[in-house]
Amino acid sequence: MICCETNIEIQPEGLFPQNFSQKSICVKNEKEINLVHLNENRIVYEEDLSAENLDLKAANIDISSEIISQQPKSKPHNFETDQLNDKIQIKKFPQSSKKNNFLSLNFSSIQSLVESNFFEKKIDKNINYLNGIDTFGLKITYKNYLSTKAKQEKKILPLLFFIHGVGGSSVTWKHQLKFFGDLGFEIIALDLIGHGKSTKSKDKNDYTFGEICTHVLKIFDIYAKNENVIIAHSYGCSFAVYLSQERYKLIKKLVLISGGLPFPLNYQNFFLDAPLIFFKCIKPFVNCHFYCSAFGQNYQDNYLEAFKISAESLFYTMKGQYWHPIFKKDKYFKDQKVLLIEGENDKFVPYKDAFEMFKGLDNSYLIQIEEGSHMILLEESDVINKLILLFLKDP
């Protein structure tokens, strides 16, 4: 584990698809926000996305592997080789590869998945609890009145707007940008102030929650289409909730990953009460704590490219997570569909926070990933990508 600051240059080339561009938008007093823009002004219709091709890309399936047909059973973990008429196919994997079983499922949307019999179901107070841990490494929670019918109309793919969390950057989304960019979605992924290639401001007032909200809103207003989907992680979920209230007519759906309730993270400790010079001295230990806590033990990747941030910017961002309770719990979203994704072993955002948020929503799914960490968007990128894709295809 690396426990010191490393000066490396973020090089998106090779991480993102060929058809991307980087732009800098001036938001205030010569402060610039960097963003990655994929498939600019490209028009792709939903009906042009082939279900079979999407599933193969999402699951990265080796089509030469052994495939068995399986009818949904009352005990979904029972994978006996039965020759039945159901179209759904499940790959035969070792017991330890449960997530690959999920990646092999061929459903058109999350709605069709939850309406199947692949999960053990429990209903309590109008909430459905679907336990697929033994089979797919997933738990899904949703409400009874979620089901809707798809409208038969030709629709353009929505713009995907990505917001990262504290200490991250647009590179945090490298797997998602590559996956959805290749599918033809127009994408905006920004670097928050002080992060990635955005301006490293020396003014602490540029890092308050309210000020960053104005940055995010300005970028959104420049690039927003008629239909947009916000995809956010960790602290970025708070800005997503803010956008959902300010521009609710333009935001169709939201995906909130490792976010929980839209309140400040619990960084109110003596490190932030100390002078900045002291924080600069302990920054290597802060880095080490983050890497040890945010990632699972078995994760191996060059994550440094996504988490290059100065001690000053990190310090001010963390201290800036104070704001008045502008969110009303019963009015987070207005007629918007929400997908909440949480890791079982997230040490920063407890599952109970996401569940509390879920209970106040009328149109949402809450999915827990077995053994998932806070950085599940990197560690479980295939699963995350497929869940988002199924959600985007929901009516």
Convert the pLDDT of each residue in 214-246 to its tens digit.
Answer: 999 999 999 999 999 999 999 999 899 889 888
Q: Which of 5-14, 133-142, 377-386 has the weakest average pLDDT?
A: 5-14
Catalytically active residues, by annotation: 234, 346, 374
Residue 75 CB partners (closer than 8 Å, separation 6+): 120
pLDDT at 151: 60
Q: Which of 165-179, 230-244, 314-328 has the weakest average pLDDT?
A: 314-328
Give phi and psi for 278, each to the nearest 5.
-70, -40
In a domain, 129, yes or no: no
Q: Tokens 């009328």 belong to which residue? A: 362
In a domain, 319, yes or no: yes
Reduce the secondary structure of 328-393 to three states and give it as a string.
CHHHCCCCCEEEEEEECCCCCCCHHHHHHHHHCCCCEEEEEECCCCCCHHHHCHHHHHHHHHHHHC
In a domain, 381, yes or no: yes
Residue 330: pLDDT over 60: no
Q: Which of 243-247, 266-270, 317-321 has the weakest average pLDDT?
A: 266-270
Convert the pLDDT of each residue in 9-19 to its tens digit.
Answer: 344 445 555 67
User: What is the C-alpha to C-alpha distance for residues 382 and 11, in angstroms, rounded to an integer?
Assistant: 22
Name the β-bridge partners of 34. 24
- Which residues form the domain of 214? 20-46+151-392
Distance of CA 26 to the CA centre of its chain: 26
Give phi and psi for 111, each to the nearest 5.
-55, -45
In a domain, 102, yes or no: no
Number of domains, the chain: 1
Tokens coding 178: 């590559």
Q: Which of 318, 161, 177, 176 is closest to 243 using CA atoms?
A: 161
In a domain, 124, yes or no: no
Residue 365 CB partners (closer than 8 Å, separation 6+): 110, 114, 140, 141, 142, 146, 338, 339, 340, 391
Q: What CATH number did the domain enclosing 371 receive?
A: 3.40.50.1820
In a domain, 5, yes or no: no
In a domain, 30, yes or no: yes
In a domain, 217, yes or no: yes
H/E run at residue 52: helix 51-59
Residue 316 CB partners (closer than 8 Å, separation 6+): 194, 201, 204, 206, 207
User: What is the C-alpha to C-alpha distance for residues 34 and 193, in angstroms, rounded to an integer?
Assistant: 8
